[in-house]
Structure 1
Amino acid sequence: MRHALIGLTALLSLAAPASAATLVGYAELPADTFAAGPASGAYSGAGLRGPARFSSQPVQGFSGVQFGKDGSYLFLSDNGYGSKANSADYLLRLYRLNLTAKTAPAGQGKVGVGDFIQLRDPDRKVPWLIVNEASPERLLTGADFDVEGFAVAPDGSLWVGDEFGPYLLHFSADGRLLDAPVATPNLPGLPTLRGQAPIVIGHRGSSGTRPEHTLEAYRVAIEGGADFIEPDLVVTKDGVLIARHEPVIATVDAAGKVLEATADVATRPEFAARLTTKKVDGVDVRGYFAEDFTLAELKTLRAGARPPALRGKTYDGQFQIPTLAEVIALVKEVEAKTGRKVGIYPETKHPTYFAAQGVNTSQLLIDTLKKEGFTDPARVFIQSFETANLKDLKTNIMPKAGVTLPLVQLVSSADEAPYDWAAKGDTRKYGVLTTDAGLKELATYASGVGAYKRWIIDDKGATTDFVTRAHAAGLLVHPWTFRNEATYLLPGYANDPEAEMRQALRAGVDGFFTDFPATGARVVGGYTAPEVRSPQNPAYALGTSSAAANVGGSGGFEGVTLSPDGKTLYALLEKTVTGDLPGQLRLHAYDPAGKQWTLAGRYGLDDTANAIGDLTPVNATQYLVLERDNFSGAAAKTKRVYLVSLNEKNADGTLKKTLVADLMNVKDPQGLAPSTQGGVFKFPYVTIENVLVLDANTILVANDNNYPGTGGRGADVKDANEFLWLKLDTPLNVVAGVGRK
């Protein structure tokens, strides 16, 4: 289904007529071209060393191009033989090439290989072990970095983009690493109320994996990464707050069948006489109620999973019903052992129902929090589906207790209503609270709104403006409830619970309730990680799990260039960062002088399976981007050069792009290239990674041949390095500082 994800940018591009540039120059470097250096190609894809396949260093795998001296060109070699594991003996270099274009049928194209700049780290700027760690020159290899685009700074130094980190690497003009690799910050953040990281709330603990509202469910939630755990609170006969979802702990029908239970009370004959019928929020409920049991009696019961048909009974009968005090003790225990400060998010259940029995659950909650010494406003949210009790907490109970804690108004579906309203004959529904006026009034007593998730993402899967409006009222937004099971997911998520969570986070929610906090923490971590890291990042080789990677393998800086004034370095990722919309790539701007990063924009791929190959300037606001599919030969379809504008965006927020040249449909009326057929030249290599503006009318394009790869010109033909001079149908708006001087 990946082709169904083509964005608005792609649709606009595909709808436009393809620009068939004209081939006005051609040259070719044979695949088997070598330069001086040690033997190479000894490592397998598994990193095992065997005999070297090559007696020296192949001149191949060009992944970036810039102008050199005296009419030459500098080409950056790629990382080696295709992976980190098999490239430990491939040396990273920039080769100086002298190109002579074939411009007429009788002419001849030539590629002369000159000297090279060896990238190295003799001053030990790289803070981790490299392949040539112990050697004096510490020559860098394809197992150390996956170098891609590069730029030549006004002072002659070199800025190189790496995909393994991803990093920016700063070298002297002769290839000496000048600074430690510059890591890539995880820039965009999320549109939360104050720019803060969203919180993950373990809904009834880790209730998707353990019986809800048990110390074990809370413990697993904390271990999974929950920032807060949620105890729903009801009251025992002897006035103790315990964690249960409802006052009824088992419902029973007229025939005696247990309909639902969170504890095994219905199996205990000693409690059979406690079976009764009560009216809860206006509805008759038959079952066993917590307030009819002392705490000691409840402690003899054991909890069960809910719903058992979906979540099984593996852990049934093992865990007690905890008190609020015990939940707080667990949180304190975790803090003492790990230093991690987890919060609690208690809900006072059915306050009107309990008030009728003479119990003020809000007062009891504050009294318990004070007694247990847990009143840090950064670690407690108090929530309720009713309104009057929250207002009482705000204006009366908390001020008298000398406590100030954030309150959250829970908002259920549009067909339901706060029971304290209904009990007084008020016919309004929850929808009233979701209007701009309702949110503004809600903000007078609450710090946040705990909305049913369909207020955030409707039943068609579309993001609403609820979060934006709630934030405008100064309210945090913590929707409920996100679950992993397919039965709770809209069809559009294709059984991927993380996709639903990501959509909510992109909408700007400040946190969310989930039955599977480990999943929630993993998703949030993709946004809140301080750095963008690929699975090849050296941190993972040092013991950190590569599961924390948030960009695909070798998905780092494929395109790197400098602005025409030489002051801003632009670096475009090859792959989408986890959590970003599929097919959108981050374009970073880096100020070398101030060492500051910003996000310059997002590039939208024609297809989510595509990748970019290079980036080069036209003027201060326009840049050329190479975009390609991952196919070669007859299967190749998309090999394109786009013009993107930093100042113009599409409706989806991506940079506006215009097709400049379709490399699968290049006019070659003179037959300059040997592969041209019927006056049409095609460039069907997997990776095309070099583009450079020569002048307003002409660009240079070259491929990365992935030596000793095959497939571009035939299944058994080694791919050569081909160099194209293309005259564009429409001139570029080139400024001084761009093009051959």
Structure 2
Amino acid sequence: MKPSLTRAAALLALSLSLAHAATLVGYAELKADTFTSGPPSGAWNGGLRGAPRFSSQPVQGFSGVQFDPSGSGFIFLSDNGFGARNNSADALLRLHRVDLKPGSVSAQRGQVTLKGFIALRDPDRKVPWQIVNEASAERLLTGADFDVEGFAFAPDGTLWVGDEFGPYLLHFSADGRLLEAPVSTPNLPGLPTLRGQAPLIIGHRGSSGTRPEHTLEAYRVAIEAGADFIEPDLVVTKDGVLVARHEPVIAVLSPDGKVQEATTDVAARPEFKDRVRTKTLDGQAITGYWAEDFTLAELKTMRAVERLPQLRGRAYDGRFEVPTLAEVIALVREVEARTGRKVGLYPETKHPTFVAQVAGRDISQLLIDTLKKEHFTDPARVFIQSFEVGNLRALKTRIMPAAGVNLPLVQLVSSPDEAPYDWTAAGDGRKYGALTTDAALRDIATYASGVGAYKRWIIDDQGRTTDFVSRAHRAGLLVHSWTFRNEPTYLLPAYANDPEAEMRQALRAGVDGLFTDFPATGARVVGQYTTPEVRSPQHHAFMQGAGSAEATLAGSGGFEGLALGPDGRSLYGLLEKPVLGDLPGQLRLMRFDLSTRAWALAGRYALESGGEAIGDLTPVNDHEFLVLERDNGSGESARIKRVYLLSLREKNPDGTLKKTLVADLMALRDPQGLAPSTKAGRFGFPYVTIENVLVLDAQTILVANDNNYPATGGRGKDVKDVSEVLWIKLDSPLTLAPGVGR
């Protein structure tokens, strides 16, 4: 960067900082080495127990603050312990009654005075899993049990505490006795599917990214990977049996007779060398071997090969047969009998016009006849799809009614440069774009239940989400999009070779199902959205043997901010980090109704570029809150330590809640020199974790840090972090609800 641009950027940053340079009007600090009564602590290190480092309990810095309900002073919540679960089994969870004096000038420092504490405990055994002090009478809670970060007093006098390990809400009596089992956090936001249902994972030709496509093994692996439906593309044999192959041509030859693409080893079988034919498939002349020129018995002598060997190798070539539709159904039934899991079929009628012209067969009729013969006609377990239009209309109006079945149909919509071949064969020059207008979607809804859309109709080639899904949903149509693959060659550059990012974008767009060659990946991504609970890696279920890979929240990403709304009924919890599957940098603000126990998503908070997490949340009025936001820097590396005013009534264009910067904690004015670290009238607050904010009056707020005892770095490389308390006068007054402040 040119020096002039560097200076310009610095001046811009300075001007923005000064524009929100609120004023320090009070300062006090609590020494890092501050202890209260209690058993020795600090014996654990990385999960191993040694000698205690401390003879009693350190206060450990503060992670939440409220006014003392008694009417005098404040109550601060200590953080969970010594920085990690496996270090904090002897760190007791406590709230401290605190008196604060802000001081007036540098010669008269403010004071922080501890006046006792409330011990959090579970003597009534409300926690349904084992805690550290399981066998004791009081069952004092520790930092290895919960990571407590915010709290609020309800109108009935009880205490609610936000936890990061679950994340949970913990409900205590005023004196710290747990009143009920920890309240889990539901994975509420969901996805904008047509009916709010979980999206389907459709094994595209089975698990075709890991096994040769359209083999029983590919289907079996897809089912084991979590596919809800498996997709057999259907072609017809010489003797009229439906078999699973991607195309009627099972090996394509070049003009000089070399194999260009194949799904069977037919070209290597000398007994079939006279079967090579050139046929016109959807208007294109293709030379090769064709399924309709072989009996089922002949096809059964062949073996499947990988269609994309340059990409996926040949490790499984020659090992699997070409399956019939009946055999695919038998596999599904076998899995159901063995596991109880009901998997559906998603057959595609391949090239109905071609099959009728060349083989003299009605592939749609053959499909319905086979499904009836095999007694597989449950409409909840079958979708029938086609790239053509006429055969779907025939299925809807003639074939299925005559057979006494009614299965959902899906109109496939390919890329804009292609066309339904039955249209082309009839002289209709329209292409697939003609099926994507609002009027066309409404027409599709008269004969089909959904559209199977090429993914570029949903996410364009620039990676932008379109309105296709919402328009299809307005027409009452499901949207099942194709094809999602893990290989980088199929991904847009913006995804940085991350196939899950592409899937997540499609899911956020509202698709009702994904066709994927890698159903294990698809099932994992959908699971991120459909897991009933939000769970961090420290969730108790994982401590009981479940794999923490199922976590949907990064470690220590739970309820960092907790606040009771001025109405006294709504508890607001702001997660510190994004839930897996949400957009990066967006945090969920959850609302919990204390009377009905109902959860709701109050909105999404967007972190600034460079922001890593939030530190606290406190109410201003019924629709505005103050939020602490921070980066992970401390000392000289700290950049973002800020207080924002968050509105629940206003949203940004991306749907996140609007916020306004009210104080830059790295650039506070201190004209009186209240703080010992103030230089030239400027005070900075460069601690990693700033976790306490409280409204004192319309223009004054209280802010304090957690010192992550016994951490260093905020005020110097080798200086222990103290707990500093700031009284800050804002440049503009807040609009307070009655009862907010003191």
TM-score in terms of structure 2 length: 0.97
After TM superposition, give the deviation of residue 15 of structure 1 in Å: 6.8
Q: Answer yes or no: is the 8 Å Cα contact 1:450–1:479 preserved in 2.
A: yes
- Equivalent position of 1:729 in the other structure: 731
Separation (CA, whole Å) in 1 of partners of 2:104 and 2:402: 89
Separation (CA, whole Å) in 1 of partners of 2:107 and 2:545: 59
Tell me the SS of whatever aligns to 2:577: coil
Tell me the SS of whatever aligns to 2:435: helix
- Equivalent position of 1:715 in the other structure: 717
Tell me the SS of whatever aligns to 1:479: strand
- Equivalent position of 1:3 in the other structure: none
Tell me the SS of whatever aligns to 2:482: coil
Query: Residue type matched to 1:115 in 2?
Result: G
- Equivalent position of 1:207 in the other structure: 208
Tell me the alpha carbon deviations over residues 439-486 of structure 1, each in whole angstroms, 9 at most, x when there is no partner.
111111111000110000000100000001111111000010000000
Separation (CA, whole Å) in 2 of partners of 1:379 and 1:579: 27
- Equivalent position of 1:50 in the other structure: 50
Q: Answer yes or no: is the 8 Å Cα contact 2:26–2:727 preserved in 1.
A: yes
C-alpha change, 1:15 and 1:633, in structure 2 (3 Å) is closer
After TM superposition, give the deviation of residue 102 of structure 1 in Å: 1.2
Taking every aligned residue pair, what percent have the same amino acid on both sides? 75
Tell me the SS of whatever aligns to 2:223: helix
Q: Answer yes or no: is the 8 Å Cα contact 2:610–2:640 preserved in 1.
A: no
- Equivalent position of 2:95 in the other structure: 94
Query: Residue type matched to 2:150 in 1?
Result: G
- Equivalent position of 2:330 in the other structure: 329
Query: Residue type matched to 1:714 in 2?
Result: G
Q: Answer yes or no: is the 8 Å Cα contact 1:618–1:732 preserved in 2.
A: yes
Q: Answer yes or no: is the 8 Å Cα contact 1:18–1:659 preserved in 2.
A: no
Separation (CA, whole Å) in 2 of partners of 1:717 and 1:523: 44
Query: Residue type matched to 1:419 in 2?
Result: Y
Query: Residue type matched to 1:48 in 2?
Result: L
Query: Residue type matched to 2:21 in 1?
Result: A
C-alpha change, 1:312 and 1:655, in structure 2 (3 Å) is same
* Structure 1, unaligned runs of 5 or more: 1-10
Indicate yes or no: 2:119 matched with 1:121.
no
Tell me the alpha carbon deviations over residues 84-134 of structure 1, each in whole angstroms, 9 at most, x when there is no partner.
111111000001111111122332211111111000011111111111111
Query: Residue type matched to 1:368 in 2?
Result: T
Q: Answer yes or no: is the 8 Å Cα contact 1:13–1:658 preserved in 2.
A: no
Indicate yes or no: 2:128 matched with 1:142.
no
After TM superposition, give the deviation of residue 306 of structure 1 in Å: 2.0
Q: Answer yes or no: is the 8 Å Cα contact 1:197–1:510 preserved in 2.
A: yes
Indicate yes or no: 2:67 matched with 1:67.
yes
- Equivalent position of 1:306 in the other structure: 307
- Equivalent position of 2:578 in the other structure: 576
* Structure 2, unaligned runs of 5 or more: 1-11
Query: Residue type matched to 1:312 in 2?
Result: G
Number of residue-to-residue matches in the alignment: 729
Runs of 4+ aligned structure 1 residues displaced above 6 Å come to 11-17
Query: Residue type matched to 1:264 in 2?
Result: D
Which of 459, 462, 465 is matched with 2:464 structurally?
A: 462
Q: Answer yes or no: is the 8 Å Cα contact 1:325–1:372 preserved in 2.
A: yes
Tell me the alpha carbon deviations over residues 503-549 of structure 1, each in whole angstroms, 9 at most, x when there is no partner.
00001100110000000001000011111111110111112211111
Query: Residue type matched to 2:684 in 1?
Result: K
- Equivalent position of 1:649 in the other structure: 651
C-alpha change, 1:31 and 1:347, in structure 2 (3 Å) is same
Which of 685, 688, 701 is matched with 2:687 structurally?
A: 685
Tell me the SS of whatever aligns to 2:86: coil
C-alpha change, 1:258 and 1:30, in structure 2 (3 Å) is same
After TM superposition, give the deviation of residue 565 of structure 1 in Å: 2.2
Tell me the alpha carbon deviations over residues 555-604 of structure 1, each in whole angstroms, 9 at most, x when there is no partner.
10000010112111000000001111111111011011110011111111
Tell me the SS of whatever aligns to 2:382: coil
Indicate yes or no: 2:671 matched with 1:669.
yes
After TM superposition, give the deviation of residue 281 of structure 1 in Å: 1.3
- Equivalent position of 2:36 in the other structure: 35
Indicate yes or no: 2:183 matched with 1:173.
no
Tell me the alpha carbon deviations over residues 652-709 of structure 1, each in whole angstroms, 9 at most, x when there is no partner.
1111111111000000001110000010000000000000000011100000000000
- Equivalent position of 2:401 in the other structure: 399
Tell me the SS of whatever aligns to 1:394: helix
Q: Answer yes or no: is the 8 Å Cα contact 1:24–1:726 preserved in 2.
A: yes
Q: Answer yes or no: is the 8 Å Cα contact 1:13–1:659 preserved in 2.
A: no
Separation (CA, whole Å) in 2 of partners of 1:16 and 1:520: 44
Which of 613, 616, 619 is matched with 2:615 structurally?
A: 613
- Equivalent position of 2:434 in the other structure: 432
Indicate yes or no: 2:353 matched with 1:348.
no
Tell me the SS of whatever aligns to 2:469: helix
Query: Residue type matched to 1:692 in 2?
Result: L
User: Bigger shift: 309-318 or 66-75?
Assistant: 66-75
Tell me the SS of whatever aligns to 1:480: strand
- Equivalent position of 1:105 in the other structure: 106
Separation (CA, whole Å) in 2 of partners of 1:15 and 1:426: 61
Tell me the SS of whatever aligns to 1:369: helix
Indicate yes or no: 2:207 matched with 1:188.
no
Separation (CA, whole Å) in 1 of partners of 2:14 and 2:194: 35
C-alpha change, 1:234 and 1:609, in structure 2 (3 Å) is farther
Tell me the SS of whatever aligns to 1:234: strand
Tell me the alpha carbon deviations over residues 237-288 of structure 1, each in whole angstroms, 9 at most, x when there is no partner.
1111000000111011121110001011111111111111111112111111
Q: Answer yes or no: is the 8 Å Cα contact 1:481–1:515 preserved in 2.
A: yes
Q: Answer yes or no: is the 8 Å Cα contact 2:109–2:674 preserved in 1.
A: no
C-alpha change, 1:554 and 1:13, in structure 2 (3 Å) is farther
- Equivalent position of 2:222 in the other structure: 221
- Equivalent position of 1:5 in the other structure: none
Separation (CA, whole Å) in 1 of partners of 2:266 and 2:61: 70
Query: Residue type matched to 1:232 in 2?
Result: D
Alignment of 1:311-322 (within 5 A): 311-322=312-323
C-alpha change, 1:275 and 1:17, in structure 2 (3 Å) is farther
Which of 490, 493, 500 is matched with 2:492 structurally?
A: 490
Which of 665, 687, 696 is matched with 2:698 structurally?
A: 696
Alignment of 1:74-85 (within 5 A): 74-85=75-86
Query: Residue type matched to 1:730 in 2?
Result: S
After TM superposition, give the deviation of residue 61 of structure 1 in Å: 2.6
- Equivalent position of 1:557 in the other structure: 559
Separation (CA, whole Å) in 1 of partners of 2:231 and 2:24: 66
Indicate yes or no: 2:365 matched with 1:363.
yes
RMSD: 1.3
C-alpha change, 1:422 and 1:15, in structure 2 (3 Å) is farther
Separation (CA, whole Å) in 2 of partners of 1:41 and 1:580: 37
Tell me the SS of whatever aligns to 2:556: coil
- Equivalent position of 2:3 in the other structure: none
C-alpha change, 1:565 and 1:710, in structure 2 (3 Å) is same
Tell me the alpha carbon deviations over residues 323-364 of structure 1, each in whole angstroms, 9 at most, x when there is no partner.
111111111111111111110100000100111121011011
Query: Residue type matched to 1:223 in 2?
Result: E
Query: Residue type matched to 1:294 in 2?
Result: T
Indicate yes or no: 2:449 matched with 1:447.
yes
Separation (CA, whole Å) in 2 of partners of 1:665 and 1:15: 10
Q: Answer yes or no: is the 8 Å Cα contact 1:583–1:608 preserved in 2.
A: no
- Equivalent position of 1:384 in the other structure: 386
Tell me the alpha carbon deviations over residues 710-735 of structure 1, each in whole angstroms, 9 at most, x when there is no partner.
00000101000000001111111112
Q: Answer yes or no: is the 8 Å Cα contact 1:582–1:608 preserved in 2.
A: no
Query: Residue type matched to 1:468 in 2?
Result: S
Tell me the alpha carbon deviations over residues 51-79 of structure 1, each in whole angstroms, 9 at most, x when there is no partner.
11111110123100001134211111111
Alignment of 1:506-545 (within 5 A): 506-545=508-547
Separation (CA, whole Å) in 1 of partners of 2:354 and 2:611: 56
Q: Answer yes or no: is the 8 Å Cα contact 1:275–1:288 preserved in 2.
A: yes
Tell me the alpha carbon deviations over residues 353-402 of structure 1, each in whole angstroms, 9 at most, x when there is no partner.
11112101101101111111111101100000000000000000100111
Query: Residue type matched to 2:85 in 1?
Result: K
Tell me the SS of whatever aligns to 1:336: helix
Separation (CA, whole Å) in 1 of partners of 2:114 and 2:681: 30
Separation (CA, whole Å) in 2 of partners of 1:621 and 1:599: 14
Query: Residue type matched to 2:91 in 1?
Result: Y
Q: Answer yes or no: is the 8 Å Cα contact 2:89–2:132 preserved in 1.
A: yes
Separation (CA, whole Å) in 2 of partners of 1:260 and 1:12: 59
- Equivalent position of 1:7 in the other structure: none
Separation (CA, whole Å) in 2 of partners of 1:362 and 1:542: 51
Tell me the alpha carbon deviations over residues 188-225 of structure 1, each in whole angstroms, 9 at most, x when there is no partner.
11111111110000000000011000011011111111
